[in-house]
């Protein structure tokens, strides 16, 4: 089922979450091929953008190759800095959605920078930031939040109302507190409470590990879309499976070993396209363990991959593994 973020039509209800070090243009291209309706970038420092930091700006190199809507997520604690960053980014890249991160729980973002989920402690500041960014750009502005700073300050509904009033056109919510991090269980009731109190689209996030979780979240909360993150590591196929199941109940076949390995190689080639070889090889080493999860006799190939330094060698190892793979039949 389609929904809209401002004037942007999203073709289905499946969204790739912003994941640091993961949701780069290469992985977003894979997500597009897997039928995601919307993808979020990893969080981008607004301070680094206004300082014209090359490493930061290069994080977005390649988003012009993505043919589905992309939400570029920025973080910071100063309204003027965030506004200027949004202005710069929309001039440099074909960006139609700017997302403001108010959910990241990691200390270097919250404690040191006073941004991410630390912003949930100051409603007035939230309003100032969102309204300032809205005024600074023609892009659609969205916000991603958590349920609150800790269990004693659950204020997701108040925050959601505030960002809507400030001009945000959608909100994504991960219903864990900053204090929880990624532990415990996501409280989907908070997503429902937010949905019942705002008129903008609500994207639910947290604990979606299967197509059934995705459907259950929409049924229980009424949210407009589901955002899937860590469950996509090595398994971007979950995006297309969820899209099909949410559309009409279709249950797609699981990816076989050939598709898993071919997708890993495709992912690596995209990393090479947007990065130097050394960086691409190092990043892909982390992804490959996820892609090979569930396959048999992978210890040897994993050991080989830890020593790989060239793209040719990495691709050769994966192709060789695929060509000599033996499917173990269940007894």
Q: Is the dihedral of CA 107, 112, 115, 119 positive or negative?
A: positive
Task: Retrieve residue 238's tokens.
Answer: 């979950």
Task: Give pLDDT, residue 1.
Answer: 85
Residue 130 and residue 305: Cα distance in Å, rounded?
Answer: 45
Quick: pLDDT tens for 99-148.
Answer: 999 999 998 899 877 999 999 999 999 999 999 999 999 999 999 999 99
Task: Give pLDDT, residue 329.
Answer: 60
Task: Retrieve residue 269's tokens.
Answer: 């080639």
Residue 5 and residue 57: Cα distance in Å, rounded?
Answer: 25
Report the half-sphere exposure of 20 (CA within 13 A, side-chain side): 13
CA angle 210, 215, 219 (to 5 degrees): 145
First to last CA, the chain: 41
Quick: pLDDT tens for 24-63.
Answer: 999 999 999 999 999 999 999 999 999 999 999 999 999 9
Q: What is the DSSP letter of 154?
A: B
Task: Give pLDDT, residue 71.
Answer: 98
The segments of the chain whose pLDDT lies below 50 read 331
Q: Give me the numbers of helices (H) and strands (E) for the chain, helices first please.
A: 14, 11
Catalytic residue among 29, 104, 223, 232: 104
SS3 track for 246-271: HHHCCCCCCCCHHHHHHHHHHHHHHH
Mean pLDDT (the chain) is: 95
Task: Give pLDDT, residue 331.
Answer: 41
Only one residue has tokens 């689209």, namely: 201
Comma-separated ranges of CATH 1.10.1200.80 domains in the chain:
257-323
Residue 209 and residue 265: Cα distance in Å, rounded?
Answer: 24
Only one residue has tokens 């499946």, namely: 14
Comma-separated ranges of CATH 3.20.20.70 domains in the chain:
3-248
DSSP β-bridge partners for residue 205 = 227
Q: Which CATH class is domain 257-323?
A: mainly alpha
Q: How many CB atoms lie within 10 A of CB 309?
A: 10
Homologous superfamily of domain range 3-248: Aldolase class I (3.20.20.70)
Residue 194 and residue 319: Cα distance in Å, rounded?
Answer: 47
**Annotation marks residue 223 as catalytic:** no
């Amino acid at each position: 089922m389609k929904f809209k973020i401002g004037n942007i039509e999203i073709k289905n209800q499946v969204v790739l979450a912003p994941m640091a070090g993961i949701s780069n243009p290469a992985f977003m291209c894979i997500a597009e091929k897997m039928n995601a309706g919307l993808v979020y970038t990893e969080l981008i420092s607004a301070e680094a953008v206004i300082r014209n930091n090359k490493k930061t700006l290069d994080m977005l190199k390649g988003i012009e190759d993505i043919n589905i809507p992309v939400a570029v997520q920025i973080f910071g604690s100063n309204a003027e800095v965030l506004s200027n960053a949004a202005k710069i980014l929309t001039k440099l890249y074909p960006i139609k959605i700017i997302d403001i991160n108010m959910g990241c729980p990691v200390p270097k973002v919250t404690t040191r920078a006073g941004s991410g989920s630390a912003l949930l402690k100051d409603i007035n500041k939230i309003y100032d930031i969102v309204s300032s960014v809205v005024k600074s750009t023609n892009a659609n502005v969205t916000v991603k939040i958590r349920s609150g700073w800790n269990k004693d300050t659950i204020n997701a509904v108040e925050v959601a109302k505030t960002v809507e009033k400030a001009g945000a056109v959608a909100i994504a919510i991960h219903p864990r507190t900053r204090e929880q991090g990624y532990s415990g269980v996501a409280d989907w009731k908070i997503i429902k409470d937010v949905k019942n109190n705002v008129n903008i689209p609500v994207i639910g996030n947290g604990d979606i590990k299967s197509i059934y979780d995705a459907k259950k979240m929409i049924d229980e909360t009424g949210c407009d879309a589901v955002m899937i993150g860590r469950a996509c590591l090595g398994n971007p196929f979950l995006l297309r499976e969820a899209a099909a199941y949410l559309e009409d109940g279709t249950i797609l076949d699981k990816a076989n070993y050939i598709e898993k390995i071919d997708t890993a190689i495709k992912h690596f080639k995209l990393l090479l396209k947007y990065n130097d070889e050394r960086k691409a090889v190092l990043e892909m080493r982390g992804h490959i363990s996820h892609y090979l999860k569930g396959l048999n006799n992978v210890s040897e190939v994993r050991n080989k991959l830890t020593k790989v330094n060239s793209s040719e060698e990495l691709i050769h190892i994966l192709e060789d593994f695929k060509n000599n793979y033996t499917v173990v039949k269940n007894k």
